[in-house]
Amino acid sequence: MELVEPTCVVDTSLNLNVIPSSSTELAAEVLVQELRRLSSENKRLTKKLNHMCENYVAMQKHLSQFSHVHFENELALTPSPRKRKVEDCINLFGVPESSDDTFKRPKHNNNTSPNKISKVFIRTDASDTSLYVKDGYQWRKYGQKVTRDNPSPRAYFKCSYAPGCPVKKKVQRSVEDPSVLVTTYEGEHNHAQQEAEISMSSRQSESPGRSVAAKPSVMNLQSRVGGPSVTVDLVHSKLVENFNGQSQKSSIQQFIVQQMATSLTRDPNFTAALATAISGKFLHHTSTDNP
């Protein structure tokens, strides 16, 4: 599937510096030409955006179909009705579809934050038995348990960066593929991501005896755009596996950029701000030319 045209170079700049200050007629003519050029660029962009949207919808459809088949198989392998209930709460994007109160036990319920649950599949070295996943946050392990339907233990972590951060995560190897770590995140961080993966690695190299984290190919596919948040949450097992190649990683980056661009262009506030900025520059330019 084609995600992006690599040779897609679009000049969206408004060249206001070409306006000669000597002749207003010439200036008007140049402006008209410039506006025509922008208009045609706008049409091209609209076309490309439509194309991208079509690709996105098609991809989502594929994922949806695959997800359906995947969970059908998983449910067949997990006879526990309790487990089934949990899995039913997680759709293909790892976001709860319905009220997730059934998942979270109300034991220490702090109803301060909604329990956003997302599931991330991470491929690691199968020989590596560690359940540590570097995802840019600092976690404190508070428990480990062997569950009934999976011979590999499940590790429980709490976010230890911010004292009041309610986020927890569970890490367990997939019963089908032991090289895949299944990480389930609960809740949302009430702080910024504390460190990038690179700095995380260097930090751990300072204390080599502790927390020897696995080096998985973490696919953090959740991105947000300020204002009305736009989430691109594409986490899914096979998708992550398929994106493990280097060239495919760049495809993800391109795709995320596309998503952000689409979200921005769809946002009326953004377009309004852009128009204001352009007109502001224009007015500023003409005012400096004609004092």
CA 117 to the chain's CA centroid: 14
Give the residue with the Cβ less far from DNA, 133 or 232.
133
**Smallest separation, CB 110 to DNA (Å):** 10
Give the residue with the Cβ less far from DNA, 25 or 105.
105
Cβ atoms of 157 and 146 within 8 Å: the answer is no
Beta bridge partners of 121: 182
Residues 104-143: x/- map of binding to DNA (CB under 7 A)? -xxxx------------------------------xxxxx
**Smallest separation, CB 193 to DNA (Å):** 18
Maximum distance among all alpha carbons in the chain?
Answer: 83
Give the residue with the Cβ less far from DNA, 36 or 140.
140
Q: Does 144 bind DNA (CB under 7 A)?
A: yes
Distance CA(124)–CA(52), nearest Å, equals 32
> CB under 8 Å to 163, separation ≥6 — which residues?
none
Pick the stretch among 5-13, 64-72, 194-202, 208-216 that binds DNA (CB under 7 A). Answer: 208-216
**Smallest separation, CB 225 to DNA (Å):** 31
Q: Does 208 bind DNA (CB under 7 A)?
A: yes
**Smallest separation, CB 113 to DNA (Å):** 13
Q: Does 211 bind DNA (CB under 7 A)?
A: yes
**Backbone Cα Rg of the chain:** 25
User: Kindly report the CA angle at 233 between 229 and 236, in degrees rounded to 5?
Assistant: 170
SS3 288: helix
Helices 24-77 and 81-88, axial angle in degrees (round to 10): 170
- What residues line the site for DNA (CB under 7 A)? 80-83, 85-86, 102, 105-108, 139-145, 147-149, 154-156, 160, 168, 170, 207-211
